[in-house]
Structure 1
């Protein structure tokens, strides 16, 4: 390809698209902890305590809610950011899919 296209060797990948890449002898580790921290701050949850389970057991959310409406644009932005975080955190995939159901009319 170098004969056909002009190319530059930038060396080993270490950071791209908010994903930190670390190489070990036998493994490649992808990390988005800085991205997750920024997301927690943007959603005003930086001071919240972490939990083992990302969602309450048997939680039922419905579209017919009496709760005060939230900013739909901010909600969609946070859910989309969580979708991107799923690339390195598959443990939150179910929860992100669950809250994605309410992107049209969040409450």
Structure 2
């Protein structure tokens, strides 16, 4: 974060990508010029997609989503044809680690749960459920 006067500016860095944001366009452009003087870079314009997160910018709002990511996750889990529901888990559902049913593919289960954990960034409404199924990553079974 950079501070100039009363304005605050944020620079997000991931590997070789920067996201620059702030209230003053002049300061943002000045920062980009400073960076270009020291590094070879391109300005890709207004942010629309970053690390699987879709960014929609309006005049008064900024909306983040992961619909494409969620669709791929549903396909990978074999649930692409499922209907959406209001609550992502049955009320009062009790799962236990002491189960006698067959084990499932642990690698696939962990991959899907990991994907759900990333999806929580834009879907905090599923955080409880994702945390609940994360408890079974060590030994996943069909009834989990």
**Residue 89 (structure 1) aligns with:** 123
Which structure's relative contact order is higher, taking Cα pairs within 8 Å and 6+ residues apart?
Answer: 1
**Residue 37 (structure 1) aligns with:** 71
Deviation track 1:31-65 (CA, whole Å, cap 9, x = no partner) reads 10111111111100111121111111110110011
**Residue 106 (structure 1) aligns with:** 140
Q: How many residues align?
A: 107
SS of 1:20 mapped into structure 2: strand
Give me the CA root mean square deviation.
1.0
More strand by share: 2
| Unaligned stretches of 5+ residues in structure 1 | none
Runs of 4 or more consecutive aligned structure 1 residues displaced over 6 Å after TM superposition? none
Alignment of 1:12-91 (within 5 A): 12-91=46-125
Q: In the aligned structure 2, how far is the partner of 1:43 from the partner of 1:20?
A: 21
Q: In the aligned structure 2, how far is the partner of 1:47 from the partner of 1:67?
A: 25
Based on CA coordinates, which of the two structures has the bigger radius of gyration?
2
TM-score of the aligned structures, taking structure 1 as reference length = 0.94
| Unaligned stretches of 5+ residues in structure 2 | 1-34
Q: CA deviation at 1:3?
A: 3.4
